[in-house]
Structure 1
Amino acid sequence: MVTRRIILRTALALAVTVAGVLGYLDVHGDFQRWSDNSALDGACDGLLDRDVVRGVLGSGEVEVHDRGDGDLVAKCQVDVDGGGSAEVSVLDTASVAGSRDSLYRANLSDVVSVPVGHGWSGLFGADMEDPKDSFDSPTEHATTSLVLDCVESSQVDGLSVTVRTKLRDATLDNPANRPQYARIATSTAARVSEKLGCGAKIGKDVRRLGLPVSEDEYEPLRTAGGTCSGIPTARGVSVATETDRGGAPYEICRLADADVSTRYILSARFGPYAQEAYADYQERSYGEGMPSPDIPSQQRDADGPVSWSTAKCPDGVALFTLQAAGDRGVDRKDTAESPGFAYERAALGAFAERSAEAHRCSAPAAL
Structure 2
Amino acid sequence: MQKKSGLRGIHAGWYAGVAVLVLGLVAAVLYGSGAYDSWRDGRSLDKACDGTLAQDGLASALGSSDLRAEQDDGGALAECLVKTSPGTGRAVRITLRWSTAGAPSGSLVWYDSDYNGVRAQAAPLGGGWPGVVRYDGTWQIMVALDCANEKDKALVTYGDLYGASGGTALTGLGRVTTETARKAAGKYGCRVKAGKPLSKVSTARLGKPGTAKPLAQAQGSCVALRALSVAGSGTPGIMEYPADPDAPQTNCYMVTGAEKPGYGLYAYYGAAAKDYESTGFGGPDHDSVVATATCPRASHEAVFAVYHLYDRDSDSYPVPHYSASFARSALKLFAEHEAEQRGCDGVRIMDRP
The C-alpha deviation readout for 1:314-345, integer Å capped at 9, x for no partner, is 2121111112235999964465755x444322
Aligned to 2:242: 244
How far the C-alpha of 1:110 sits from its partner, in A, is 5.1
- Return the TM-score normalized by structure 1: 0.73
Aligned to 2:93: 87
Aligned to 1:273: 272
Where does the alignment leave 5 or more consecutive residues of structure 2 unmatched?
1-24
Written as runs of structure 1 = structure 2, the 5 A alignment for 1:159-198 is 159-166=155-162, 171-172=166-167, 178-198=170-190
Whether contact under 8 Å (1:105, 1:250) holds in the other structure is: no
Distance (whole Å) between structure 2 residues aligned to residue 81 and residue 40 of structure 1: 12
Written as runs of structure 1 = structure 2, the 5 A alignment for 1:1-367 is 24-25=29-30, 28-54=33-59, 56-57=61-62, 60-70=65-75, 72-81=76-85, 84-96=90-102, 100=105, 102=107, 105=110, 109=117, 112-128=121-137, 141-153=138-150, 157-166=153-162, 171-172=166-167, 178-216=170-208, 217-231=211-225, 232=228, 233-235=230-232, 236-246=234-244, 247-281=246-280, 286=284, 305-313=287-295, 314-315=297-298, 316-325=300-309, 332-333=316-317, 337-338=321-322, 340-365=323-348
Whether contact under 8 Å (1:47, 1:191) holds in the other structure is: yes
Question: Which sits farther off after the overlay, 203-212 or 263-272?
Answer: 203-212
Distance (whole Å) between structure 2 residues aligned to residue 335 and residue 183 of structure 1: 40
Whether contact under 8 Å (1:120, 1:202) holds in the other structure is: yes
SS in structure 1 of the partner of residue 159 of structure 2: strand
The C-alpha deviation readout for 1:231-268, integer Å capped at 9, x for no partner, is 12232121212212322111221212213343311111
How far the C-alpha of 1:146 sits from its partner, in A, is 0.4
The C-alpha deviation readout for 1:153-207, integer Å capped at 9, x for no partner, is 48x8111111112476x623xxx66422311001100111001111111111112
Greater length-normalized contact order (CA 8 Å, ≥ 6 residues apart): 2
Distance (whole Å) between structure 2 residues aligned to residue 190 and residue 225 of structure 1: 31
Letter in 1 for 2:255: A
Where does the alignment leave 5 or more consecutive residues of structure 1 unmatched?
1-19, 129-140, 288-303
Whether contact under 8 Å (2:92, 2:173) holds in the other structure is: no
- Return the TM-score normalized by structure 2: 0.76
Distance (whole Å) between structure 2 residues aligned to residue 341 and residue 312 of structure 1: 24
Computed over aligned residues only, the root mean square deviation of the Cα atoms, in angstroms, reads 3.4
Aligned-residue identity in percent: 24
Whether contact under 8 Å (2:290, 2:303) holds in the other structure is: yes
Letter in 1 for 2:291: S
Number of paired residues? 311
Letter in 2 for 1:279: S
